[in-house]
Structure 1
Amino acid sequence: MSTIMPSEQGPGAGDEEPDSAEPRSGRPGTEPDYRFTLANERTFLAWIRTALALIAGAVAVLHLVPLQWSTGPRLTVGLALTALAMVITVYAPVRWLRVQHAMRRDRPLTTSALPLVTTVGVALVCIAVLAGNFWT
């Protein structure tokens, strides 16, 4: 019994395209391992969940929680949470796209400012909440 080599199989056999340098999207590069693409999507969705949580916090501060604050501190905290949610919502898809392009081109990933912006924003909101509790 002999083994048939791909070159001996005849015309049309084995004509499947290997990972081409041109993905279906028409952009140059190679298809990354699907696990990395899925991880990138999960990270994007985590940022969107964070933005939704911040919006829920803003709604709670502005309308649901019976805080004994004056309108100024309550509005400041609610708007700060909303603004931070907007920044994350706008930047998350940009970051997802940059990572996707870097993976397709086999380039290193750039550092994201989003974790730092989120950390500083949440810290400022925490300070505002503390100030609102002590000085109103």
Structure 2
Amino acid sequence: MPGAHHPDHPGARARWPAGVYGTGAEPDYRFSLANERTFLAWLRTSMALVAGAVALDTFAGDDPRPGVRTLTAALVALGAAGTVAAWLRWRASERAIRRGEPLPGFGVGAVACGALLVVASAVAALVLTRG
């Protein structure tokens, strides 16, 4: 690929993380860009979870029920976990793409769905029992 930053290409520079870019062959850039878009979608979702925690804390800040603080913390924790999962999934997928291996399974997504379902149900219960 002309102008690519491939190790054999004159003027190539080291890319970080070396554990990803130092393995396998340079893939079609469209696959790497699709993987990056997925990574960014996970980050947007994580930011939305943190924003939801801020909204819950703001609008229910004076609510004496202990569940409000717990749910706020759970949303922040899910947002943080989503950020870590985004990085790990991007890394694993990019390495698989470069090595011509199958992409990783979606186990982390299933766990995230389950956790979010539990938190969303608890938020709904708090809203419906507010009186």
State TM-score, norm by structure 2. 0.77
- Paired residue type of 2:27: P
CA contact (8 A) 1:62 1:78 kept: yes
For the aligned residues, what is the CA RMSD?
Answer: 2.9
**Corresponding residue to 1:51 among 46, 52, 58:** 46
> What do the CA deviations read for 1:87-122 (whole angstroms, capped 9, x no partner)?
111111111011111111100011022321221121
Structure 1 runs not aligned, ≥5 long: 1-15
Residue in 1 that maps onto 2:112? 118
Instruction: Mark the structure with the bigger radius of gyration.
Output: 1
Aligned-residue identity in percent: 39
**Alignment partner of 1:82 is 2:76:** yes
Q: Residue 22 of structure 1: CA displacement?
A: 6.9
Cα 1:22–1:111 change in 2 (3 A) is farther
SS in 2 for 1:37: helix
Residue in 2 that maps onto 1:7? none
Residue in 2 that maps onto 1:40? 35
Give me the whole-angstrom Cα distance separating, in 2, the residues matched to 1:66 and 1:127.
16
Cα 1:110–1:45 change in 2 (3 A) is same
Which of structure 1's runs of 4+ aligned residues deviate more than 4 A? 20-26
Q: Residue 68 of structure 1: CA displacement?
A: 7.3
CA contact (8 A) 1:22 1:30 kept: no
- Paired residue type of 1:128: A
Structure 2 runs not aligned, ≥5 long: 16-20
Q: Residue 84 of structure 1: CA displacement?
A: 0.6
CA contact (8 A) 1:47 1:88 kept: yes
Give me the whole-angstrom Cα distance separating, in 2, the residues matched to 1:101 and 1:90.
17
